[in-house]
Structure formats: structure tokens, C-alpha cells
Amino acid sequence: MTKRITLPIQDEDIKNLKAGDSVLLTGTMITGRDAAHKRLFELIEKGEPLPVDLRGELIYYVGPAPAKPGYVVGPAGPTSSYRMDRFTPALLDLGMKGMIGKGARSQAVIDSIIKNKAVYFAAVGGAAALIAKSIKKEELLCYEDLGTEAIRRYTVEDFPCIVAIDSEGNNVYAR
């Protein structure tokens, strides 16, 4: 059975998710990849304010292709998540609730997911055109100079993913 979750995600939703659950997300999420994560992390290290409030947010690791007519974004498949692993614990400590990407995560990220009662969703690689259909609106938030790697807010409807690592550390990649 597929679970439907309205974003922003709530602590109770996260608590009830189990590794392997199929989920459809509707609401808003932010985006960001390597370069944006590096900039955020540098600000955290300096003790400076971030240009975006991460509290309660899910971040989708994506750098979409140009949009075709009738679409908000082009193919928008997930990026390999391990590239954000060195930055993720600091972002989770600031109140971020979870991530969406593809692939396994480091033990430090898994430990931080458990500590912060967060969740890691996997979106299906190779389904970029399908995922793009669930993105209904896009808003640039910061780092426009990064192009497709800028931080944006997506409004999504029935965004398909699975729970890869739940808030207790159960991990589909370890099975």
C-alpha cells in the first residue's frame, strides 16, 4: 500500500514511516546539490545565517534539465546522495527533516537521521521524466549563479519515492 504524505512533513509522519514503504509526497520541498550544500556548510562553519530556513524541510538532490513546453522543469531525476554526505549531518542538526536522492548513505548520515528523527527517501533513478510530471511549481530561493544546482522550492503532487532509511535507521540498502 502506498502512503500519501502532505508536506511539510510532520514528526508523526516520519515516525510512522518504515524502510521500504512506497510514498507519494504532495506539498513543497526544497532542492539542492553539491555546490549549494558546500555553500550552506561554509556558512554554518562560520556561524553565519543561511539564506534559506531548513527547519522542517525535505531537500531533493536534483539538477533538472531544461523544461519542455507544458512542464515546470525538465527531466528531474535524483542525484547520487553520497556526494552530500559530508554536509548532511550539519543540515539535519539545523532542523532539516529529510532528504530525497538515490543510493546508499554513510554511517555518519544514518546516525544523524536517527539522532534527528529524520528520513531519507529514494526517488527512482531513470524516471526523471515521470518525476518531472509531479513538479507543479518552481521558485528560485538562492544561489541563482549555480544554475540547475541553485536552491529552489518545488511544489509537488504525488511525487513518487520510497523510504530508504527510516527514523530508526532501518535501511533498504543494507538488506
pLDDT tens by residue, 105-114: 999 999 999 9
Short-list 86, 88, 87, CA closest to 97? 88
Taking domain 3-158, whether its CATH number is 3.20.130.10 is answered by yes
Residue 104 half-sphere exposure, CB side, CA atoms within 13 Å? 8
Q: What is the pLDDT of residue 69?
A: 86
pLDDT tens by residue, 116-171: 999 999 998 778 888 999 999 999 999 999 998 999 999 999 999 999 999 999 99
Mean pLDDT of the chain: 95
Short-list 119, 68, 127, CA closest to 97? 119
Q: Which helix (H) or strand (E) holds 25?
A: strand 22-31
Q: What is the pLDDT of residue 127?
A: 81
> For 84-94, what is the mean pLDDT?
98
3-state helix, strand, coil in the chain (%, to 5): 30, 30, 40
Partnered with residue 60 across adjacent β-strands are 31, 100
When pLDDT is cut at 50, 70 and 90, the band that residue 73 belongs to is very high
The angle at the Cα of 163, spanning 18 to 122, to the nearest 5 degrees, equals: 170
Partnered with residue 152 across adjacent β-strands are 140
